[in-house]
Amino acid sequence: MSYGRLDINFEGYFMCRLATDPDPTNEERGMSGYTMALAFEDPLDQVIRLQADAEWLRHNARAPLPDMKITVGVSVRSLQFQGALYDGARSLLGAKVYLDGRDFPLPGPTFESRNSTVGSDDSFAFVVNPFNLRVEQAETGAKLTATDYVDPADPKLPLWRVNDPGIYGRRLPTCASLGDTEVMEAINVFDAFGYFRDRKRYLEKLIRDTTAARDASDAPAKRSQMEARIESYKSRIYQLDYWGDRVINKIQTKVGWEFVINGPQAVEGDLGGTIDPTQPWGVNFWFGGWDGDLLLGYMRGTLSVPFTPAA
Write out residues in the chain with pLDDT < 50, as ranges. none
For residue 92, tell me if it sits in a domain: yes
Q: Can you give the length of the chain in residues?
A: 311
The stretches of 169-191 forming alpha helices (DSSP H) are 181-187
15 located within any domain: yes
CA distances from 262 to 223, 271, 282 (A): 56, 23, 9
Q: Look at residue 304 and give its three-state secondary structure.
A: strand
- C-alpha 13/C-alpha 299 separation (Å) is 6
Query: What pLDDT is recorded for position 2?
Result: 66
Separation of first and last alpha carbons in the chain: 14
In a domain, 226, yes or no: no
At 122 the pLDDT is 72
- Is 202 within the bounds of a domain? no
- The Cα-based distances of 118 to 133, 248, 308 in angstroms read 21, 25, 39
pLDDT value, residue 7? 98
Written in H, E and C, the secondary structure of 9-34 is EEEEEEEECCCCCCCCCCCCCCCCCC
Q: 122: helix, coil or strand?
A: coil
- Domain extent, residue 96, equals 4-186+251-309
Residue 269 falls in which region: left (phi positive, over 0), alpha (psi -120 to 50) or beta? left
User: Could you tell me which of 254, 255, 241, 248 has the C-alpha nearest to residue 292?
Assistant: 248
Residues 217, 221: Cα–Cα separation, whole Å? 10
Confirm if 36 and 9 have CB atoms less than 8 A apart. no
**Structural domain contains residue 237:** no
Are 127 and 119 in contact by the 8 Å Cβ rule? The answer is yes
Task: Give pLDDT tens digits for 10-32.
Answer: 999 999 999 998 898 889 999 99
DSSP state letters, 206-238: HHHHHHHHHHH---HHHHHHHHHHHHHHHHHHH
How many domains would you assign to the chain?
A: 1
pLDDT at 1: 52
Q: What digits encode the pLDDT tens for the residues 86-139? A: 989 999 999 999 999 999 999 999 999 877 677 677 778 899 999 999 999 999
DSSP-derived 3-state class of residue 245? helix
Cα(229)–Cα(43) distance, integer angstroms: 17
Q: Is residue 42 part of a domain?
A: yes
Give residue 241's pLDDT. Answer: 97
CA distance 30 to 158: 25
Structure confidence at residue 229 (pLDDT): 96
For position 212, what pLDDT does the model report? 98
**Does residue 243 sit within a domain?**
no
Domain assignment present for residue 217? The answer is no
